[in-house]
């Protein structure tokens, strides 16, 4: 068992500098992940580095990283899914909502069909157009699955157990369901 010794005056300055360097490095990792999530190869490195820094910092420094509220987690998931749809699928949804319910994350995207996809469904026979569109969308989601799971793990702090997906060719609504290994921890909102 490790016992923390009180800081002397000489150590306090060095401790404060180290704490600030770690906080700045974690913040830089957050910026890399947030702004370059789908376009850079160094994002997995940034995620791993941030996790390692948080782990090591918790061992050596008695400060806490702020825990997100449920609303902040849901908003971050919405932003990540919006960015994914824009950069990976070609356009973003008109509306997006995420709901965290225990160990489930349900993301509802509305207005996701492109003009070409809408035309494809109208022109081809009903079953053929619908099946073709669903098959293509399912293949794209399965291809990008590791990115989406990494994004959810980064936001919630919990591993993704499974991912389920469906899209309506009539309403243009898409549902993505993530099953997590456990319920994520979040900070309760203070009632006024």
d(CA 99, CA 105) in angstroms, rounded, equals 6
126-145: b or e for each residue (b if 16 or more CB lie within 10 Å)?
A: eeebbeebeeebeeebeeee
Helix crossing, 115-123 with 126-143: angle to 10°?
150
Per the model's pLDDT, the better-predicted residue between 94 and 68 turns out to be: 94
**14 found inside a domain:** yes
Query: Is residue 4 in some structural domain?
Result: no
Residue 105, SS3 per DSSP: strand
- Looking at residue 161, its pLDDT comes to 95
Whether residue 15 is predicted with pLDDT greater than 50 in this model: the reply is: no
Give how many domains the chain has, as a whole number: 2
**CA 152 to centroid of chain Cα atoms:** 4
Q: Is residue 191 part of a domain?
A: no
| Whole-number pLDDT of residue 90 | 80
What does each C-alpha distance from 12 to 3, 6, 8, 16, 61 come to in angstroms? Answer: 17, 10, 6, 6, 12
Q: Is 154 found in the same domain as 81? A: yes
Asked whether the predicted pLDDT for residue 121 surpasses 50, the reply is yes
Range of 36's domain? Answer: 9-60
* Other CB atoms within 10 Å distance of the CB of residue 119: 12
**C-alpha dihedral over 183, 64, 97, 189, to 10 degrees?**
90
Q: Kindly state whether residues 80 and 52 are assigned to the same domain.
A: no
192 belongs to a structural domain:
no
Per-residue model confidence as pLDDT tens digits over 165-178: 999 988 889 999 99
pLDDT for residue 40 is more than 60: no
Q: Are 43 and 94 in the same domain?
A: no
- Average pLDDT (18-27) is 67
Q: Is the residue at 190 inside a domain? A: no
Region 65-91 average pLDDT:
86
Residues 117 and 163 in one domain: yes
């Amino acid at each position: 068992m490790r016992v923390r010794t009180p800081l002397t005056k000489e150590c306090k300055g060095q401790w404060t500098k180290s704490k600030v360097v770690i906080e700045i490095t974690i913040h830089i990792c957050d910026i890399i992940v947030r702004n370059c999530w789908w376009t850079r190869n160094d994002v997995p490195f940034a995620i791993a580095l941030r996790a390692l820094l948080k782990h090591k910092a918790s061992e050596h420094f008695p400060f806490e990283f702020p825990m997100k509220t449920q609303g902040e987690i849901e908003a971050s998931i919405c932003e990540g899914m919006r960015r994914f749809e824009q950069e990976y699928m070609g356009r973003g949804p008109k509306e997006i909502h995420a709901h965290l319910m225990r160990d489930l994350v349900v993301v509802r995207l509305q207005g996701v069909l492109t003009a070409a996809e809408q035309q494809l469904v109208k022109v081809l026979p009903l079953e053929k157009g619908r099946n073709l569109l669903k098959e293509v969308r399912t293949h794209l989601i399965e291809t990008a699955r590791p990115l989406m799971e990494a994004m959810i793990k980064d936001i919630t702090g919990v591993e993704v157990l499974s991912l389920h997906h469906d899209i309506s060719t009539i309403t243009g609504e898409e549902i993505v369901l993530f099953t997590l290994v456990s319920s994520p921890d979040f900070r309760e909102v203070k009632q006024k």
